[in-house]
Amino acid sequence: MANSENAKTSSASFLKNLVRNQCFIPVAALLLLAVFNLIADPSFFRITLGYNSAGNPVLSGFIIDIINNGSELAILAIGMTLVTAASGGQDISVGAAIAIAGSVVLRVLCGGNARPETLQAPIIVAFLVACVVAMLFGAFNGVLVAYFKIQPMIATLILYTAGRSIAAWINNNELPVISDPKFAYFGGFIPGIPIPTPCFIAIACMIVIGIVLKVTNLRLYTQAVGINQSSSKLNGLNPEMIKVLAFVILGLCVAVAGLIKVSRVSSINYSVIAKDIEMDAILAVALGGNALSGGKFNMAASIIGAFVIQCLTTTLYKFGVSSTALPAYKAVVVILLVVVSAPTVREYLNKISQKMKLSKEVA
Amino acid sequence: MAKTDKNNASAGKGLGAKLAGMTDTNLLLTITIAVFFLLYIGAMVFLRSGFLKPQTFFNILNANAALIILACGMSLVMITGGIDISVGGVTALVSMCCAVYLDYKGGNVFMAVVIAILIGLAFGAFQGALVAYLDIQPFIVTLAGMFFARGMTTIVNTSPFNVENEAFVALKMTRVNVPGLGSVNKLGKYVPAYVEIGVLVALLVVIVMFVLLRWMKLGRNFYAVGGNKQSALMLGINVKRTKFLSHLICGLLAGIGGFVYFLHVGSGSPSHASGAEMDAIASSIIGGTMLTGGVGNVLGTFFGVLSLNTIQNIVSSVGFDEAWWTGITKAVMLCLFLVVQSVVMSVRKKRNAAN
C-alpha cells in the first residue's frame, strides 16, 4: 500500500520535473508537429537517397530539409541566446549582418570582378575576413549597448537599417556569382557524403559552444550580468565587457551563417538574403523558454527551438502555404505559445488544477 | 517654441544653467527642433537649388504624412514604456483591404475609412490586451502582429494593383494650396505650394496627441506609467488600463496612418510600407522619445520625421544618390542621436546625483 503510494508520488514528481525542465516546451512542440505530420501525411518522414546533377549521392526528404535549412537558425540561436541572457534584449540586426558577412566573403573571393573565372583568394581567407568584419559590427552593437546604455533592440536598429545598404555598397551593388564548385560545398554537399554540409557546420558550432560553456566561466558570468548587473559588478565582474563579448560571439555566429547562406546560392541578393531571420532567431530563443528579459538561459532549449521553427516553416510549405503568407500562420503559433507560457495564464491554470485536486480530496 | 530654441542656439554653450533647469522631455525636444532648423537652413544656404522652393518642404510633408501619424502612435507607446512594431504591417494590410474593397467590391470611400480604422483598432485592442493584461513582452506580441499583418496582406491579395475608384482618385488628387507661399516656374507662371489631404490629417493628429499628452489626465498617466510603473500604481493609476489604451490608440493611429498612406500611393501591395515601423521608431527617437519610457513629445516626433527626410534629401542632392545611401544616412543619423541622448542623459544624471 505504502509502496504503491510512493511509486505514485515519485512518478508524479518525475512528471513534474519533466514539465518543469526548460527543454520540455520546445521538445513537446516538436513532437506535436511530428505527430500532426504523421497523421496528416506520413510521407513527411520519408528520406530517399538520390543523386544530384553532379552525380553525387544526396539524401532528400522533408526531415533532411528541416535539419539542413535549420542549421543557420540554430547557429544564430546560439549567439542570440547569449546576447539575450547578458543584455536582456535582442539583436535585430542579424539578418542585415548576414548580408554584410556574405557580401564580404564574395568580395574577397571575387576581388572586384563580378564574374571571376577562378577564385581570387582561398575560401578560408574570405571566411576569416568575414569573421573579423562581422565581429567588428558585433562589437559596435555591443559598445552601444554596454557603454552608451542604449536598449539592445534600438542600438541594433542602426545596423538593421544600414546593413543591407552596406552589403550592397561593399560589392558596388553588383551581384557576383562564384562558379567554382568547391565554394558550393559549404551550403550543399561534399562529394561522397550524402548529408548536407550545413548540418556538420551546425554540429561543430554546437560542440564548440558546449565545450566553451563547460570549460570556461562564460555561462556563469553571462547569467550573473543578466540577472543583476550592479551586483555582478560588485562581485568583480566587468559587465560591460561581458555584454560586448556576447555581441562579438553573435558576430562570429553571423559570419558562419553568412558563409552558409551565400554558399547555398553561390551568389547574393542583398534585399532577400536571410530576410526575417532575426525574427526567427528571437522566436527560437523565446520558444526555448529563455526569459527575453535576460538572466538564466538554456542553450540546448534554444537550439531545439530553432529546429521547431524550421519544422513549422517546412510543414507549412508542405501544405502549400506560399512563402509570403507564411508569416501569418507563424504569428498565430507564436501568439498561442506566448499566451500559454505567460505567467498570469499559468497561475490561472495552476489555480484551476488545484481547485480540481481539492474537490477530489473532499469527495 | 522655435523662438526659444533659436535663443538657446545663439547663446551657444553658455546656456548650461537654462538647459539644466529643463525637464528631460523639453531638453530633448529642444535639441531635435534645433537640429531640424540647422539642417534645413544649412541646406537653404549651401545647396540653394531645390531647398529655396517652399514646395520642397511641403513635398517632404506630403510624402511622409502617414509616417508622421504612425510615429505619433509609436511615440505614445514608447512613452508608456512599450513598443509596437506592427504599425508597418498594419499599414500594408489597411491599404490592401481598402484597395480590394474599393476596386473589386465597388465600395465607397467613407466605408473604406471605417474599415481602415476598424482594422487598426482590432490590432491595437488585441495586442494591448496581451501586453497589458497577460504581461507578455510588447516586442514579442507586436512582432507576431507584424508577421500576421504582413501574411494577411498577401492572403487578401497577392499582387499589387492600382485603385481606379473615381471618388477615391478625386480625393487622392485633391490639393490644398498653402496661402502666401509658392514659386515662379520656368515659364514665369506662379505656382502656389500645396499639400495633400493626408497632411491635414497628420497635423490634426499631432495637435490632438499634443493636447492629450500635455494637458489631459489620461495623457499624464502615460508618462507616469512609463516613468515608473510602481509609483504610478501607488498614485492610484490603473497601470494595466493605461497600457492597454496606449496600444489601442497606437493601433487606431496605425489604421488612420494606413489610410493616409493608401491615399498617397493609391494602390494596394504586400510590399507597401516595408520598414515603416523602423522609420517610425527612428523618428520617435530622433524626436527625443526614450525607449525606457516616461520621456517624449509628439511635437519632437513630428520634427524627427522631418529631420530624417530632410537629411535624406540633402544627401541625395549632394550627389550620393545611389540607393544604399538612404539606409546608411538614416542609420548614421539614428546612431548620432542615440549617442547624444545617452551622453546628455548620463551627464544630467550625474549632475542630479551630485546636487
Q: Which amino acid is at B329?
A: T
**Lookup: cell for A54:** 553532379
Rounded CA separation B118/A43 (Å): 43
**Main-chain dihedrals φ then ψ at residue A93, nearest 5 degrees:** -100, 5
Give ipTM to 2 decimals: 0.75
CB atoms within 10 A of CB A169: 19
Higher pLDDT: A310 or B14? It is A310
Rounded CA separation B199/A246 (Å): 44
CB atoms within 10 A of CB B118: 14
pLDDT at B11 over 70: no
Report the residue of B338, B340, B343 to disrupt the A interface, i.e. the one with the largest count of A CBs within 10 Å. Answer: B338
In CATH terms, is domain A25-45+54-320 a member of 1.10.3470?
A: yes
Please give the pLDDT value at position A251: 95
Rounded CA separation A24/A211 (Å): 23
Nearest CB among A148, A158, A328 relative to B152 is that of A328
Q: Alpha helix (H) ranges present in chain A?
A: 2-20, 24-40, 62-87, 94-110, 123-146, 152-170, 197-215, 218-227, 229-234, 239-265, 277-287, 299-318, 326-341, 343-362
Contact check, Cβ <8 Å, A342/B326: no
Q: pLDDT tens digits for B94-130?
A: 999 998 888 887 778 888 899 999 999 999 999 999 9
Question: What's CA A215's distance to the chain center, in Å?
Answer: 22
Please give the pLDDT value at position A1: 45
Rounded CA separation B198/B175 (Å): 10
Please give the pLDDT value at position B80: 92
| Intervals of chain A under pLDDT 70 | 1-12, 14-15, 18-20, 54, 363
Q: How far apart are the first and last CA of chain B?
A: 29
Report the range out of A96-100, B197-201, B215-219 with the highest average pLDDT.
Answer: A96-100
Cβ neighbourhood burial of B104 (10 Å; 0-12, 13-18, 19+):
exposed
Contacts of A314 (CB under 8 A, 6+ apart): A62, A65, A66, A69
CA atoms within 13 A on the CB side of B183: 14
The residue among A195, A201, A182, A226 whose CA lies nearest residue A82 is: A226
Nearest CB among A169, A293, A327 relative to B148 is that of A327
H or E segment and range at residue A276: none
**Lookup: cell for B139:** 516586442
Please give the pLDDT value at position B274: 79
pLDDT at B219 over 50: yes
For chain B, which domains are there? Answer: 29-344 (1.10.3470)
CA distances from A282 to A89, A93, A251, A336, B225 (A): 10, 11, 15, 16, 27
**Main-chain dihedrals φ then ψ at residue B195, nearest 5 degrees:** -125, 160
Rounded CA separation A218/A73 (Å): 22
- Report chain A residues whose CB lies below 8 A from the CB of B309: none
Report the residue of A92, A165, A275, A287 to disrupt the B interface, i.e. the one with the largest count of B CBs within 10 Å. Answer: A165
Q: pLDDT tens digits for B221-252?
A: 899 888 888 888 888 888 999 999 999 999 99
Rounded CA separation B203/A103 (Å): 42
**Lookup: cell for A322:** 506560399
**Lookup: cell for A70:** 535549420
- Report chain A residues whose CB lies below 8 A from the CB of B285: 154
What is the sign of the dihedral through the CA atoms of A8, A14, A17 and A19? negative
Tell me whether A153 touches chain B (CB under 8 Å).
yes
What's the per-residue H, E or C state across chain B?
CHHHHHHHHHHHHHHHHHHHCCCHHHHHHHHHHHHHHHHHHHHHHHCCCHHHCHHHHHHHHHHHHHHHHHHHHHHHHHHCCCCCCCHHHHHHHHHHHHHHHHHCCCCCHHHHHHHHHHHHHHHHHHHHHHHHHCCCCHHHHHHHHHHHHHHHHHHHCCCCEECCCHHHHHHHHCEEEEEEEEEECCCCCEEEEEEEHHHHHHHHHHHHHHHHHHHCHHHHHHHHHHHCHHHHHHCCCCHHHHHHHHHHHHHHHHHHHHHHHHHHHCEECCCCCCCHHHHHHHHHHHCCCCCCCCCCCHHHHHHHHHHHHHHHHHHHHHCCCCHHHHHHHHHHHHHHHHHHHHHHHHHHHHHHHHC
**Lookup: cell for B313:** 534629401
Rounded CA separation A297/A226 (Å): 10
Q: pLDDT tens digits for B19-35?
A: 666 676 777 788 888 88
The residue among A277, A281, A262, A252 whose CA lies nearest residue A137 is: A252
* Range with the poorest average pLDDT among A37-46, B59-68, B316-325: B316-325
Nearest CB among B158, B326, B342 relative to A148 is that of B342
The residue among B112, B68, B10 whose CA lies nearest residue B200 is: B68
pLDDT at B337 over 60: yes
Contact check, Cβ <8 Å, A339/B335: no
Q: pLDDT tens digits for B123-174?
A: 999 999 999 998 888 887 888 898 899 889 988 888 888 888 888 888 888 7
**Lookup: cell for B77:** 507607446
Angle formed by the axes of helices A197-215 and A62-87, nearest 10°: 30
Contact check, Cβ <8 Å, A282/B343: no
Please give the pLDDT value at position B2: 42
**Main-chain dihedrals φ then ψ at residue A233, nearest 5 degrees:** -70, -40
Contacts of A132 (CB under 8 A, 6+ apart): none
Calculate Rg over the CA atoms of chain A: 23
Please give the pLDDT value at position B6: 42
**Lookup result for grid cell 510615429:** B71
The residue among B285, B282, B289 whose CA lies nearest residue A162 is: B282
Give the closest-approach CA distance of A347 to chain B in angstroms.
11
Rounded CA separation B126/A132 (Å): 43
- Confidence band (pLDDT; 50, 70, 90) for B4? very low
- Confidence band (pLDDT; 50, 70, 90) for B7? very low
Nearest CA in chain A to B147: A327
Q: How far apart are the first and last CA of chain A?
A: 21
pLDDT at B16 over 70: no
Cβ atoms of A91 and A250 within 8 Å: the answer is: yes
Rounded CA separation B158/B96 (Å): 9
Cβ neighbourhood burial of B337 (10 Å; 0-12, 13-18, 19+):
buried
Cβ atoms of A268 and A103 within 8 Å: the answer is: yes
The residue among A227, A84, A106 whose CA lies nearest residue A170 is: A106
Please give the pLDDT value at position B257: 94
Please give the pLDDT value at position B19: 61
Percent of chain B with pLDDT over 70: 89
Tell me whether A342 touches chain B (CB under 8 Å).
yes
Please give the pLDDT value at position A11: 65
Please give the pLDDT value at position B12: 45
CB atoms within 10 A of CB A208: 12
Residue A162 sits at the vertex; the CA angle it makes with B82 and A201, to the nearest 5 degrees, is 95
Contact check, Cβ <8 Å, A331/B147: yes
H or E segment and range at residue A58: strand A57-60
Q: Is A60 strand, coil or helix?
A: strand
Q: pLDDT tens digits for B289-306?
A: 887 778 888 888 999 999
Contact check, Cβ <8 Å, A345/B134: yes
Nearest CA in chain B to A284: B140
Give the closest-approach CA distance of B282 to chain A in angstroms.
8
